Structure 1
């Protein structure tokens, strides 16, 4: 029995030592296996993560540029609202200029109407005489007509 007991004990010791050896092997190799798994994960995940980080940085820069553009546009709109008085002044000046241009146009048309209706011209339009050609008389008539017209134009300008 002692021999059998020793064999039983020997089997139990062998199984225990195998289990201890197996556990020691697992414990001894687990960190390297864990490091291998970590390395594998990092190798697979690092490039996409770096690419994503670059994309995020680019988007951040674009976003900052758009924010600056928006701030500039807002400040321009605020300045435009301050320019309302200037635009009102411009509008008033344009209205005045149009009014003055209309007055000048009216005065010019009135002058043309007055000049076109001179007494001498109206009188000469009604007189149709067949006078003989007398060079001395035509010069005198022309000079008299010019004097009458100048007197009439002076009289109309002084009355205005």
Structure 2
């Protein structure tokens, strides 16, 4: 039985040494395998990461540009709030211009001068704007008409 035990022991020793040798081979080559895996990963992942970084950079620039546009628009809207007085002045000037045009038409129809070279007829020939009747301005029109009539009558009396 000793022969049997020696052969069993020898087989066990041989298997153990083979396992130790295999493990030593794996341990000896493990760092290079790890570096190979790392290199493979970096090679595969680097290009998409660079592309993503470029895309993020472009999106950041677009976003910044749009933020500047929004700031500009907000500033323009805020400046429009201060323009209310200017719009009221424009409206008043337009009302006065409409009333004066109506008074000129009234005077033209009233006088019917035959003198085609008069300054008034030359002026009215250039003003061919037909203005709509605006009922909300009728009181102001009457007042303006009275003023223009009195000015015109004073002018004609002083020239005679």
Same fold (TM over 0.5): yes
Q: Matches of residues 85-96 of structure 1 in structure 2 within 5 Å? A: 85-96=85-96
Aligned to 1:23: 23
* Residue 69 of structure 2 is aligned to residue 69 of structure 1: yes
Listed as ranges, the gaps of 5+ residues in structure 1 are 117-156
Q: TM-score, normalised by structure 1?
A: 0.65
How far apart, CA to CA, are the structure 1 residues paired with 2:93 and 2:157? Answer: 32
Higher relative contact order (CA 8 A, sep 6+): 2
Partner of 2:58: 58
The aligned residue for residue 97 of structure 1 is: 97
* Alignment partners' CA distance in 2, 1:99 and 1:74: 38
CA distance in 2, matches of 1:92, 1:77: 23
Alpha-carbon distance, 1:96 to partner: 0.7
CA deviations on 1:89-112 (whole Å, 9 max, x unpaired) are 101111111111211222233222
Pairs aligned (count) = 119
Aligned residue number for residue 5 of structure 1: 5
Q: Determine the C-alpha separation between the residues in 1 that align with 2:85 and 2:24.
A: 90
User: Which residues of 2 match residues 147-158 of structure 1 at below 5 A?
Assistant: 157-158=156-157
The alpha carbon displacement at 1:158 in A equals 3.1
Measured after TM superposition, the shift of residue 49 of structure 1 is 1.1
| TM-score, normalization by structure 2 | 0.65
Q: Does 1:47 align with 2:47?
A: yes
Mapped to 1, the partners of 2:90 and 2:24 lie a distance apart of 95
Q: 2-side partners of 1:158 and 1:60: how far apart? A: 77
Across the aligned residues of Structure 1 and Structure 2, the Cα RMSD in angstroms comes to 2.3
1:36 is aligned to 36
Radius of gyration: which is bigger?
1
Unaligned runs of 5+ in 2: 116-155
Residue in 1 aligned with 2:81? 81
